[in-house]
Structure 1
Amino acid sequence: MNEVVSIDLGSNSFRVLKYDCRNEKILAEYNEVVGMADGLVETNRISKDAMQRVIEAINKSVEIVNYDTKKAVAVTTAAMRKAKNNQEVLKYFKDETGVDFTIIDGKEEARLTLLAVKYALKREKINSSKFILLDIGGGSTEIIVNNNDTYKSHSFDFGIVTMTQEYLHYHALNSDLEKRKKEIKKYLDSLEINLDDYTFVATAGTPTTVAAVKLGQDFFSYDKDVVNGTIVNLDDLQTCLTLLSNSSKEEITKLVGRGRVEFIEVGIFIYQAIYEVLGKSESIVLDDGLREGVAINACLKCKT
């Protein structure tokens, strides 16, 4: 297999990648916000509107990326794990588009994301021996502690979409974040590691958005090649929050893209909370994540 197409259907985003296995290069990609977890907190179900948005996104991606949906390696994560009607939804997607999604658990999500990040760190010529990886998703947040060739991971049951839906007022959000910080600290303490020995690395939409804002980019001028490897510090987070609070909805949409406006502030608060737990003042931001990991993993399987 020289090429592979991977699909990552998250709680908010739909991401497709065509990958050249031999040369380890991206050939084409497609991203769209589909809001699959909309209403999930209240109903525990994927809505018909969300299902239709995914179908339309798949069809658009086929036009742009040009791939056989039946051959795509497709995964889906937290929202689908939680939805009571997940099997019905997945059958509908397969019947309508040919894409056969696999629901992966938090451990596999962490493994695949870590695989992508290790490749990215090597590409960016950044030391990849000891680092703590943060992956803020729509329905879950993954913390991965990498120590050379071994790692430990934990999937925490909160993300930018579900937390936004659950908490509409900052004080309620702040209170819950304090509980989440204790939960994460307890996990890290159980590993008995010295956090000072580990670099802080962050991936997914919130960190890349903050990095893009720092670089003067917006949604329409976003350049992941420039974003990759960007150092984001706590002041950058505060600058981004201030900018958001002083901007209109239209201005924020231009900055972060449609479908992300209502979630980005909560995402930054989560990001900030992890800084505090780790006792870090800066992180390295990478655009590479689950879909890249799925593609690389498929390539590696073919070589063995």
Structure 2
Amino acid sequence: MKIRKYAAIDIGSNAVRLLVANVIEDKKKEPKFKKSSLVRVPIRLGADAFVEGSISDNNIDRMLDAMKAFKLLMKVHGVEKYKACATSAMREASNNQEIVEKVFRKTGIEIDVINGAKEAAIISSTDLKHLINSDETYLYVDVGGGSTELTIFSEGKIINSKSFKIGTVRLINNSKEKNKKIFAKVEEWITKHTKEYKRISLIGSGGNINKIFKMSGLDAGRPISYIYLNAQFEYLKKMTYEERVSELSLNPDRADVIVPATKIYLSAMKWSGARRIFVPKIGLSDGIVKSLYFNKL
């Protein structure tokens, strides 16, 4: 048996993450991927990019500090290979190339600013076979700070995939009218591409749905029902930001975005006709590690 160390840096719109994973190789068996360490830093790049159009000097400095820390952590863990990917906020920032060059110059970390299609493809490459039944249909919904990736699986195969500019940070900063238009586009896509399936379930990924699943107390592998998620949405919506932090012990940068995130998952369930959502706790970072290992990145 051999244990190798791989890492992924996910530069999102609401936070920046470092995932260090153990890849366990054993003869005649498929490699196993196990989380060794996950560090999340609340740098909300989307608050800059979606409002001002560029990343502020303050957040550039914070990001540089995070990258330097991540480089040292990867060295301590003995990581042999890693990849850094930036998503929606960096995609839309007018100064993204300047930041990429500065980070590389100061830390040696090369950032790949990926488009929505590539993001969806990486997320879809995560190992879902233990969850997906080959004879059923699923709508995979990954909600981030700046975008939401949708993928339809049927009979174990990817049928369709789409990235939308609808995310938690973006919803908070957009006008109601703009959000209404974006939701209408998502509804149209989901309705069109799921109407032929009689039974469909959701697979949810992202920090917010992971938190809701943890709050539910359900055993791993059990789905959250539409009724429960709707009740949680109404409960969270009635609470103030301060109450979510003090009474539910949510992180300050989670307490505001969890409501719009829940609305996206609920809406996707409603439009697709799904009555349950599975939460396998996988996302872009996991996809990056697996894609790196299998030389797909």
3-state SS in 1 of match to 2:245: helix
Match of 1:25 in 2: 34
**Partner amino acid for 1:7?**
I
Match of 1:137 in 2: 144
TM-score by length of 1: 0.82
Moved more, 127-136 or 191-200: 191-200
Mapping of residues 1-304 of structure 1, within 5 Å: 2-21=4-23, 22=25, 23-65=32-74, 66=76, 71-116=81-126, 119-122=127-130, 125-127=131-133, 130-147=137-154, 148-167=156-175, 172=176, 178-191=180-193, 194-215=196-217, 229-243=222-236, 245-246=238-239, 249=242, 251-252=244-245, 255-301=249-295
The Cα shift of 1:154 comes to: 0.6
Task: Measure the CA separation in 2 of the matches of 1:237 and 1:53.
Answer: 36
Match of 1:219 in 2: none
The Cα shift of 1:12 comes to: 0.8
Match of 1:222 in 2: none
**Partner amino acid for 2:279?**
V
The Cα shift of 1:44 comes to: 0.6
Task: Measure the CA separation in 2 of the matches of 1:232 and 1:12.
Answer: 27
Match of 1:223 in 2: none
3-state SS in 2 of match to 1:236: helix
Whether the 8 Å contact between 1:181 and 1:274 is mirrored in structure 2 is no
The Cα shift of 1:20 comes to: 2.7
The Cα shift of 1:139 comes to: 0.6
Task: Measure the CA separation in 2 of the matches of 1:228 and 1:73.
Answer: 29
**Partner amino acid for 1:52?**
D
The Cα shift of 1:229 comes to: 4.7
**Structure 1: which 5+ runs fail to align?**
217-225
| Greater helix share, structure number | 1
**Partner amino acid for 1:265?**
V
**Partner amino acid for 1:37?**
G
Whether the 8 Å contact between 1:19 and 1:25 is mirrored in structure 2 is yes
Report the aligned-residue RMSD.
2.8
Whether the 8 Å contact between 2:145 and 2:169 is mirrored in structure 1 is yes
Task: Measure the CA separation in 1 of the matches of 2:64 and 2:225.
Answer: 35
Q: Give the 3 Å change call, closer, same or farther, for CA 235–178 of structure 1 in structure 2.
A: farther
Task: Measure the CA separation in 2 of the matches of 1:96 and 1:15.
Answer: 19
The Cα shift of 1:215 comes to: 1.8
Count of matched residue positions in the alignment of Structure 1 and Structure 2 = 284
Q: Give the 3 Å change call, closer, same or farther, for CA 95–269 of structure 1 in structure 2.
A: same
Q: Deviations over 1:162-215 (max 9, x none)?
A: 110113xxxx2xx65553343124324554752334321111022112212222
**Structure 2: which 5+ runs fail to align?**
26-31
3-state SS in 1 of match to 2:38: strand
TM-score by length of 2: 0.84
Task: Measure the CA separation in 2 of the matches of 1:195 and 1:149.
Answer: 14
Task: Measure the CA separation in 2 of the matches of 1:206 and 1:212.
Answer: 10
